[in-house]
Structure 1
Amino acid sequence: MLIAGRAIVFCFVWEERMNTRRTFLASLTGAASAIALLAISGVSAHAEGLKIGFSQVTLQSPFYVQLKNGAEAAAKASGDTLVFLDANGDVSKQNNDIQDLITQGVDAIIINPVNPDAVAPSLEAAEAAGIPVITVDRPTNGGKVAAHVGRDNKQMGKLVGEAVVAKLKADGVSGAKIIEIQGDAGGAVMMDRRDGFHAAIEGSGHTIVEGPYAEYIRANAVTAMQDLLQANADVKVVYAHNDDMALGALQVLKESGRNDVLIAGVDGLSEALETMSSGGEYVATALNDPQYLGDVTIQVAREAAAGKDVPSFVDAGTALVTPENVGEFPHSALFAEYRPQVLGK
């Protein structure tokens, strides 16, 4: 009886252990299913600790320095790591940099392309690696891109052009010669700012003299304006594709004692707004807050890295600034602040 009793006890204990094991396995299977379900449903869509790559066209322009700063601040605030690489205007270096980011296994790649066509091999490589690409400021021509974050540069040029036409009309000036200092040859931003401005001037009776490409750099614009002024002494307006170049042109005009020439630019550089506030010849710019552009780009990159649908174009917004409304825009930083709600509207 004692042996039989032990057998009964053993069988009971064994059965209890098996039941416990079955319960544990069932719980483990259920947990695994729950984890898979959470992953599919994107619950961890905004987990911290993403690694985001950023291939920047150049840091020679203060705009692009501030764009970098805005992206870095936004990534830090989200607990992410931003791997930043400067192409320094070199297409080959940019493609090599992007390949490096792919090798590092980043979760998303932000590209401000040196050339809209030349980064095609990089876009193909990123797609093959399953890494979403977001372009910022300058779009690419073709290739798989999750989203482009920028502003309507054609509209910006048009707004500035309309302000110039209105000012000339108010001053009673007809048939004015307008010098245009351009950005970079073949650049999408350059073409849009040119085309928008030209559309506003068309039919006004004014004439545009297309100047050289000064690469958005003030020193280059100074050199260009010195030559342009000699060849076009009857100039009435200078329009530059960014404020930095416009201020370079203004410097040459002041040094030449020319206070009768109107100046207009794009980007909302705070120095331009200060010049406008103090009176004088600076008549228009369009806001293009680069730090906010960087902030929005990081937000879009996080969405894309989580596999969420993002708009093909995210417009960070702009506004025209003239001497009449310049006081409405904060401009204590390098660029005037303009942060409209553009995501989650």
Structure 2
Amino acid sequence: MKKLLSVLVSVVLVASLAACTSGKTASTGSTSNSTEQKSEGTKTLGFSIDQLFESRAAVVEAAKGEAEKNGYKVIEVVADGDAQNQNSQIESLISQKVDAILVCAVDQNTIETALVKAKNAGIPIVAFDRDLPESKSINTFVGPDSIADGLAAGEYMVEQLKDQTGEIVVLELLGALNDQNGIDRSKGFNEAFKALPNAKIIQMPTDWDSQKALDATQNAFQANGDIRAVYCATDTQIPSVETVLTDMGKLKLVGEDGHVVVCGINGSKDGYEATVKGVSDGIVVMDLKTTGETAVQNAIDLIGGKTIDTDTVIPGQFYSNKDIEANKDKIWGVQ
């Protein structure tokens, strides 16, 4: 059971790397791997990153800023979605004797071999952004409270749908199910819909891929034209939903008769613009700055021998079509 840490929208939380506590182990961007080596006597954090798509890059930039502020160098390696590559990269960080490793894993299981080696070398490990609940190697996790985020989106949708009669068909576009965030967002969303017993949820996998989301949405609407709501595990898929609704002549904006309720989680520019326009009813915005900064803070504490929480989870903030534009400065995707 994760220890939930209640956080206000702007509170900064980040995972730390260290061997003093025992905890859980732990689209489409890429970057070249860093070849920078650790200098003798330099305090260094190793960042092992799955991929550098938009939201991940925002977390990493916040973490780098916090590391620099505290006098730490960063050696960054990016696996480009290849788990075996990530294994090798983590082993390289170990050989460079980094003081701690911050890892966002490609998947939950494949990199455990390298994480065990890091643990045996006495290097603290902080999993960030993506939990690794089966791992025995990480010291702490810092990331989104994905259950709470899914619950917030689901509760808002339930409120919009509660007065509709008959069977209410809802399409759930699932995130990747080898990603704890995808699993937990679905868990929270479905928990909210227990309050609407006449709802029927159709689940379609997308693996976070927008083309798969478009295909899944087309297939779902062709099989059941009376879908009244669509939940996107990532709001970057809302444009795919908009395309399908437009092509089928079903696109009605918030407040118009026949509007299909649409919500998502993330805080991307796509999600923001769709919500301002009224295609989407609202989105949950993740606090990526807090996640990145807190991860580094925790890593530094672990290096210093401090005991920290096994899990630090940070809930996002839901913004609706009515208030999102007034809170534009809080949406990471438009900064």
Equivalent residue, structure 2, for 1:151: 144
The 3-state SS of whatever aligns with 2:266 is coil
The whole-number CA distance in structure 2 between the counterparts of 1:285 and 1:296 is 23
Equivalent residue, structure 2, for 1:107: 99
AA aligned to 1:266 is I
Equivalent residue, structure 2, for 1:277: 276
The one of 310, 317, 320 aligned to 1:319:
317
The one of 192, 195, 218 aligned to 1:226:
218
Does residue 142 in structure 1 map to residue 141 in structure 2?
A: no
CA contact (8 A) 1:217 1:244 kept: no
Structure 1 regions of 5+ residues with no counterpart? 1-47, 338-345
The 3-state SS of whatever aligns with 1:335 is helix
Kindly provide the CA deviation profile for residues 166-196 of structure 1, in whole angstroms up to 9, marking residues without a partner as x.
Answer: 01125x3542211111111332111111111
AA aligned to 1:231 is A
Equivalent residue, structure 2, for 1:292: 290
Does residue 250 in structure 1 map to residue 238 in structure 2?
A: no
Q: Which moved more, 1:151-160 or 1:231-240?
A: 231-240
The whole-number CA distance in structure 1 between the counterparts of 2:299 and 2:326 is 31
Per the TM alignment, residue 326 of structure 1 is displaced from its structure 2 partner at its CA by 2.0
CA distance 1:108–1:320, change in 2 (3 Å):
same
The whole-number CA distance in structure 2 between the counterparts of 1:235 and 1:63 is 29
The whole-number CA distance in structure 2 between the counterparts of 1:273 and 1:98 is 35
| TM-score, normalised with respect to structure 2 | 0.79
Kindly provide the CA deviation profile for residues 49-101 of structure 1, in whole angstroms up to 9, marking residues without a partner as x.
Answer: 52111111222x32112222222222233332211111222221111111111
CA contact (8 A) 1:51 1:107 kept: yes
Structure 2 regions of 5+ residues with no counterpart? 1-40, 252-258
RMSD, matched Cα:
2.2
CA distance 1:233–1:331, change in 2 (3 Å):
farther
CA distance 1:336–1:311, change in 2 (3 Å):
farther
1:193-204 to 2 correspondence within 5 Å?
Answer: 193-204=185-196
AA aligned to 2:275 is M
The whole-number CA distance in structure 1 between the counterparts of 2:233 and 2:309 is 27
CA contact (8 A) 1:270 1:331 kept: no
AA aligned to 2:109 is D
Q: Which moved more, 1:151-160 or 1:310-319?
A: 310-319
The whole-number CA distance in structure 2 between the counterparts of 1:153 and 1:239 is 14
| TM-score, normalised with respect to structure 1 | 0.76
CA contact (8 A) 2:238 2:274 kept: no
AA aligned to 1:83 is I
CA distance 1:224–1:134, change in 2 (3 Å):
same
Kindly provide the CA deviation profile for residues 98-121 of structure 1, in whole angstroms up to 9, marking residues without a partner as x.
Answer: 111101111100111122222221
The whole-number CA distance in structure 2 between the counterparts of 1:49 and 1:66 is 25
The whole-number CA distance in structure 1 between the counterparts of 2:175 and 2:42 is 37
Per the TM alignment, residue 123 of structure 1 is displaced from its structure 2 partner at its CA by 2.1
Per the TM alignment, residue 268 of structure 1 is displaced from its structure 2 partner at its CA by 2.1
Does residue 179 in structure 1 map to residue 182 in structure 2?
A: no
The whole-number CA distance in structure 2 between the counterparts of 1:70 and 1:217 is 25
AA aligned to 1:252 is V
Equivalent residue, structure 1, for 2:267: 268
The whole-number CA distance in structure 2 between the counterparts of 1:143 and 1:332 is 35
AA aligned to 1:103 is S
Higher Rg: 1
Does residue 192 in structure 1 map to residue 190 in structure 2?
A: no
The one of 43, 53, 56 aligned to 1:50:
43
Per the TM alignment, residue 270 of structure 1 is displaced from its structure 2 partner at its CA by 3.7
The whole-number CA distance in structure 2 between the counterparts of 1:125 and 1:179 is 43
The one of 204, 210, 228 aligned to 2:203:
210
The whole-number CA distance in structure 2 between the counterparts of 1:65 and 1:219 is 22
